Amino acid sequence: MSDVQLNRVSKSYGKTEVVHGIDLDIGDGEFVVLVGPSGCGKSTTLRMIAGLEEITEGTISIGGTVVNRMEPRDRNIAMVFQNYAIYPHMSVYKNIAFGLRKSKLPAADKDRKIRDAAGILDLSDLLERRPSALSGGQRQRVAIGRAMVRDPSVFLFDEPVSNLDAQLRAQMRLEIKKLHQTMGTTIIFVTHDQIEAMTLADRIVIMKDGDIHQIGTPTEVYQAPANMFVARFIGSPSMNMLGARAVAADDGIGLRVDGLGAIAAPAGLHGKLSDGQALAVGIRPDDLIVSDAPADMDMISLSGAVEVIEPLGPDTLVYARVDGHDVIAKAPGRNPPVVGATVAMQMRQADIHVFDAASETALV
Ligand code: ADP
């Protein structure tokens, strides 16, 4: 078993606490991505799991064993870094074999492991090459191969593709995902890139300022963000946020939203609002559609002046000004609106997110 558990784990450097008592349960074989802005404590957390940083408080267990005082080499983990340290004077074969330098396996078994890993990583034809004759992606695969031959129970990746160009990053992401599907090893992966997190993870752990803000599948954190930080961080472009207030009405409570005026409160909010409560109403650009079609009953319509358009191919992003507020909406790729035009936009009542403005937590 190679599940990983963090129980009230804190890290301080001197008097400054940078990770604040986090809890995290990672299942055997799960692919978990720690994501958050720079400085939020994701690398520190990963390095504590690896044993490269001491834990100030709390416990970390791997496969049911508390590893707080265990040396990194005894934890049966393998770590792949952004700056993959492969040796320029060694062939690909020798670089991968380096992962087995401390192994007591017979030479024939070592050779088989190296060739198996090279096969999975599509490096079989390159075993005699030096790193200088490899592409960036191939070099990264050599670093992964070196980690693989050790049969770790957990793989730790610290921004492993950040140094690569955009096309290669996408390719390496796919390869790492395939590798996980082939091997089924537990993976903990750190990135600041929310798209990388969404595309790779079984579950995403979203961190900010040393705290975990939400843990969930990519769909959960996208569709039901726990607070305004997660709502803005996940999804590109970011969720539109409009100031709002709860207002008492004859038939219960409604919302008065900047740029939208009075709208009915979404069903899930009944009983949760008090008159005058300050709110933020969020709508994803993907859910705010530029359209002249007559609106259905459950639609909210608004209109705004187009300030900028960004053609993306299949869709066009429309940056519009609605009653003094900026919103981003989506239009089709064909026949997009022109700058300066006034356009009608529609959103479904059900796609609205409502947050308490003071605590920033989601109410629906
Ligand atoms: P991330 O990986 O999310 O970018 P880190 O885990 O590297 O963030 O850092 C978290 C916080 O801890 C940051 O504020 C950083 O400045 C601080 N930090 C990291 N390493 C040290 C260190 N060796 N000494 C003091 N502060 C550190």
From CA 226, how far away is CA 14, in angstroms rounded?
32
DSSP state string for 202-214: SEEEEEETTEEEE
Q: What is the pLDDT of residue 120?
A: 84
| pLDDT digits 0-9 by tens, 306-319 | 999 999 999 999 99
Three-state DSSP at 6 gives strand
Beta strands in the chain (DSSP E): 4-13, 16-26, 31-35, 57-62, 65-66, 77-80, 154-158, 186-191, 203-208, 211-216, 240-249, 252-257, 261-264, 278-283, 289-290, 299-311, 315-322, 325-332, 342-348, 353-356
pLDDT band at 97 (very low <50, low <70, confident <90, very high): very high
Q: What is the pLDDT of residue 70?
A: 95
Q: How far is CA 76 from the centre of its chain?
A: 25
pLDDT band at 190 (very low <50, low <70, confident <90, very high): very high
| pLDDT digits 0-9 by tens, 123-181 | 999 999 999 999 888 888 899 899 889 889 999 999 887 777 788 788 888 888 988 99
Q: What is the pLDDT of residue 235?
A: 96
**What spacing in Å lies between the alpha carbon of 309 and ligand 1's midpoint?**
38
**Nearest atom of ligand 1 to the alpha carbon of 53:** 23
From CA 93, how far away is CA 210, in angstroms rounded?
40
From CA 247, how far away is CA 337, in angstroms rounded?
35
261 and 255 Cβ atoms separated by less than 8 Å:
no
**Nearest atom of ligand 1 to the alpha carbon of 37:** 3
Mean pLDDT (the chain) is 93
**What spacing in Å lies between the alpha carbon of 49 and ligand 1's midpoint?**
15
CA torsion sign for 119, 122, 128, 131 is: negative
Q: What is the pLDDT of residue 328?
A: 98
Average the pLDDT over 9-24 and give the result. Answer: 97
**Nearest atom of ligand 1 to the alpha carbon of 13:** 25
**What spacing in Å lies between the alpha carbon of 262 and ligand 1's midpoint?**
45
**Nearest atom of ligand 1 to the alpha carbon of 44:** 6
Q: What is the pLDDT of residue 213?
A: 98
Q: What is the pLDDT of residue 161?
A: 79
Quick one: which of 347, 328, 358, 343 has its CA closest to 260?
Answer: 347
**Nearest atom of ligand 1 to the alpha carbon of 11:** 12
**What spacing in Å lies between the alpha carbon of 44 and ligand 1's midpoint?**
6
Average the pLDDT over 236-255 and give the result. Answer: 91
**What spacing in Å lies between the alpha carbon of 193 and ligand 1's midpoint?**
17
Instruction: Name the token pair of 174.
Output: 């796919």
Average the pLDDT over 283-307 and give the result. Answer: 92
Q: What is the pLDDT of residue 281?
A: 97
Choose the most confident range, by mean pLDDT, from 154-158, 208-212, 268-272: 208-212
| pLDDT digits 0-9 by tens, 47-64 | 999 999 999 999 999 999
Q: What is the pLDDT of residue 293?
A: 85
Q: What is the pLDDT of residue 128?
A: 96
| Nearest CA owner, ligand 1 atom 8 | 39
Instruction: List Cβ neighbours of 20 (8 Å cut-off, separation of 6 or more).
Output: 10, 210, 211
| pLDDT digits 0-9 by tens, 335-347 | 999 999 999 999 9
pLDDT at 1 over 70: no
| pLDDT digits 0-9 by tens, 62-89 | 999 999 999 998 999 998 877 667 899 9
Residues with CB under 6 A from ligand 1: 13, 18, 36, 38-44
Share of the chain above pLDDT 90, in %: 76
Q: What is the pLDDT of residue 339?
A: 97
**Residue 293 DSSP one-character state:** S
From CA 75, how far away is CA 82, in angstroms rounded?
21
Residue with tokens 């472009």, as numbered in its chain: 237
Three-state DSSP at 150 gives coil
Q: How far is CA 40 from the centre of its chain?
A: 13
Q: What is the pLDDT of residue 196?
A: 93
Q: What is the pLDDT of residue 198?
A: 95
From CA 51, how far away is CA 130, in angstroms rounded?
31
